[in-house]
Amino acid sequence: MDIDIGELLPIMRAKACEAFGSVLRIELVPEEPWNIVNRVENPCDFGATVGFANESWQGACTLGISSSDAITLFSHLDEDMLFDALGEVGNTVCGLLSADPHFTSFYGILEQTPPLFSRGGAWLARSTGIQGRLAFGGAHVIFGCTVRTTGPRRNLSGSSAPN
């Protein structure tokens, strides 16, 4: 039995908001629409991506922000601190997912990688995921997350199912 990624959409949206609040004390709100996409894209000036995996599943959480929105939201941070802040929020989202019973009942606990930082964004190709924006005033942060199987999925009868 597979979990529909659409079931994770409200969980991901809530965890992204919670992470910004707990790490940076900024109350960002989800801006609709949040969508299920075939390729998570983060075409921003500053980005951070945190990977996570176990023996059955792998995924990534990516966050990005434009230069102008970074000035609005994080004017007190230099570039290095901005990257660190985005990476810490990504780590926190992954940690919050690992503590969510609905998420872990299907995916289990996923070990995290250190954040990877990028200028110009990140693309998580060939993996259906969740994409949305978080807003504070007129500033936005792009959020994306994907989880996929690392091998053939097994249904309850034990037979293989295509990825």
pLDDT tens per residue across span 32-79: 899 999 888 888 999 999 999 999 999 899 999 999 999 999 999 999
Question: In the prediction, which pLDDT does 16 show?
Answer: 94
DSSP state of 158: S
Residues 6+ apart with CB under 8 A from 31: 132, 133, 134, 135, 140
Question: In the prediction, which pLDDT does 97 show?
Answer: 92
| 133 alpha-carbon distance from chain centroid | 11
Question: In the prediction, which pLDDT does 122 show?
Answer: 74
Nearest to 9 by CA among 159, 108, 143: 143
Strands 111-112 and 129-136: unpaired
Domains parsed from the chain with CATH numbers: 5-151 (3.40.1550.10)
Strands 160-161 and 153-154: antiparallel
pLDDT in tens, 91-115: 999 999 989 998 999 899 999 999 9
Question: In the prediction, which pLDDT does 157 show?
Answer: 45
Q: What is the reported pTM?
A: 0.85
Residues 6+ apart with CB under 8 A from 1: 155, 156
pLDDT in tens, 124-133: 777 789 999 9
Question: In the prediction, which pLDDT does 40 show?
Answer: 87
